[in-house]
Amino acid sequence: MEKVTIEGVEIQLIQPDDIPMRWVGREELVNQLLAAWLVLGEDDLPLNPRLIGKPGVGKTTLAYHAGRVLGRPVYLFQATMDTRPEDLIITPVISDQGKIKYMASPIVSAMIKGGIAVIDEGNRMSEKSWASLAPLMDSRRYVESVVAGIKIKAHPEFRLCTTMNEDASTFELPEYIHSRLQPQIYIDFPERDEELLILKNNLPFAEDEILEYVVDFLQSAHEADEPYSVRDGINIARYALKRLATERRKMDQEERFRRSIEYLKEAAAMILDREAAQYFSEVVDEYQLEE
């Protein structure tokens, strides 16, 4: 692991995240995020956007993808209601030799390396934790570590954003934090064709017919104002396909189709709720009427 020395104190950095996240469609959202991070001149500063939307709509994937578009390393930090200020900056740990060593958080590692820091579910953190990042999100562009007794300045290429789930706040953020987390970029459920592309991208081994049923299920749920997301659809299809793969007997095409529908309904009830299975029944009935 890479080490750096700041004001005479050795800090150990963590590696950026390298995960198979791929954003599909809705390029306008990517452009909005990249615009927020753009710097127009020496006197300009990047903004610190917050990505808002229901769970599972792709907020973290969007932020990760935008960071990779810029060619920068991306560091993800998962916020919780127990997140402490030192968790966001530098944490002391005991080494094998019994000495104290200082571990940089993903945010500080991104600051030093000029990467992208994504605070996931930031509205779960308390004001005390957010206050430790306040200087980072204005013209000062630094954080202070009480534990290590040092001040850390952000690299010019450092960028920050946070994701926030709708109606999932544990703490109400004060105005001075909200004013630093701008602009707000809202991510809604995808349109049908985009949702189908996302499913195909994540489930390349699934039959098109199954994916069509899943996307119609999601679209029906959206119209009914249900909170079911494309992530839920992916998990439903994945579990149904696994159940289908456990069938030891040979099936013709008609029976395989019938069993697929049964397993999709079962998966919807297990992953979401019993009412969710009803949307699959409605989708199947519509197809049978068309036939």
Q: Write the pLDDT tens digit of every residue in 275-286.
A: 888 877 766 555
Q: What is the mean pLDDT of residues 84-97?
A: 89
Interatomic CA distance for residues 157 and 212, integer angstroms? 42
CB 19 within 8 A of CB 64: yes
Q: Is the pLDDT of residue 56 over 80?
A: yes
The answer on pLDDT for 289 being more than 70 is: no
Distances (CA, A) of 269 to 55, 109, 143, 162: 18, 42, 46, 32
The per-residue pLDDT for 115 is 97
Question: In this predicted structure, what is the pLDDT of residue 119?
Answer: 97
pTM of the complete model: 0.86
| Average of per-residue pLDDT across 266-272 | 92
The amino acid occupying position 221 is: A
d(CA 283, CA 13): 51
Alpha-carbon distances of 95 from 88, 146, 268, rounded to whole Å: 20, 20, 47
Over residues 184-191, the mean pLDDT reads: 92
Average of per-residue pLDDT across 231-246: 92
Q: What is the pLDDT of residue 250?
A: 77
Contact assessment for residue 102 and residue 143, using Cβ atoms and an 8 Å cutoff:
no
- pLDDT computed for residue 24 by the predictor: 82
Q: Are 66 and 73 in contact, with CB atoms under 8 Å apart?
A: no
Look at residue 156 in the predicted model and tell me its pLDDT.
Answer: 95
Query: In whole angstroms, how large is the CA radius of gyration of the chain?
Result: 23
125-150 mean pLDDT: 94
Give the pLDDT confidence score for residue 168 in this predicted structure.
Answer: 56
User: How many CB atoms are closer than 10 A to CB 266?
Assistant: 16
Give the residue among 279, 257, 259, 258 at the shortest CA–CA distance from 268: 279
What is the domain class of 3-186 according to CATH? alpha beta
**With left for phi above 0 and alpha for psi between -120 and 50, is residue 24 left, alpha or beta?**
beta
Locate the domains of the chain by residue range: 3-186, 192-290
Do 21 and 60 touch, CB atoms closer than 8 A? yes
CA distance 17 to 90: 18
Angle subtended at Cα 168 by Cα 165 and Cα 174, rounded to the nearest 5 degrees = 90
- Helix (H), strand (E) counts: the chain: 11, 11
The confidence score (pLDDT) of residue 151 equals 96
3-state class (DSSP) for residue 144: strand
Could you tell me whether strands 3-6 and 9-12 are parallel, antiparallel, or unpaired per DSSP bridges? Answer: antiparallel
